A = this chain, B = another copy of it.
């Protein structure tokens, strides 16, 4: 069966990271992805989990406690500030990042991710990512401002140099109500091929 959006997003990020890696949850929200990332990188790895809403940081903190996970730095700040939060010793271990673009479910729909800061964060993470690493964006765009962010992101990512990155779009095109789709950015290992 064709994989749904969220399972495929998790499959992509989990295929790229391994125990001991550094990984970023750029929009921790209710902490679902944070738990998955934390478990995947294990006690020798580290997760940086960002959100601009205190309620998201608290919800994620509770989820992590439930699972007794202690390898996550919770950061109440915009993900565009990511560079200053990556500890020097972890810099060469950044293997992946995940973004859920849109707004936090069951919260103030006025607080949404924005094109400029989303793109800043992606560019910064892409620059720091190790070879073979991946940034997975789940793009929700049915809310006011969503279409604009989606278009800005597509316009920006199509310009990524194909010698260094591969940008995949994965989505269902016959569904109503603007269902989310995936944009995944892989930093090519130096031995990668360009052929389809």
Measured CB to CB, the residues of A under 8 A from B are 1-2, 4-6, 12, 15, 132, 134, 154, 157-162, 165-176, 179-180, 183-184, 186, 189, 192-196
**B6–A186 CB distance below 8 A:** no
**B168–A172 CB distance below 8 A:** yes
**A166–B174 CB distance below 8 A:** yes
Given contacts A169-B169, A179-B196, A196-B179, contact A2 B184 (CB under 8 A): yes
Beyond known contacts A162-B174, A167-B174: 20 more, CB 8 A cutoff: A1-B186, A1-B189, A1-B192, A2-B12, A2-B184, A2-B186, A4-B193, A157-B174, A158-B173, A165-B174, A166-B172, A166-B175, A167-B172, A168-B170, A168-B172, A168-B173, A169-B169, A169-B173, A170-B170, A180-B196
Q: How far is the CB of A14 from chain B (nearest CB, A)?
A: 13
**B174–A159 CB distance below 8 A:** yes
* Complex: A166 Cα to B184 Cα, angstroms: 21
* Complex: A65 Cα to B148 Cα, angstroms: 55
* Complex: A4 Cα to B192 Cα, angstroms: 11
Q: How far is the CB of A170 from chain B (nearest CB, A)?
A: 5
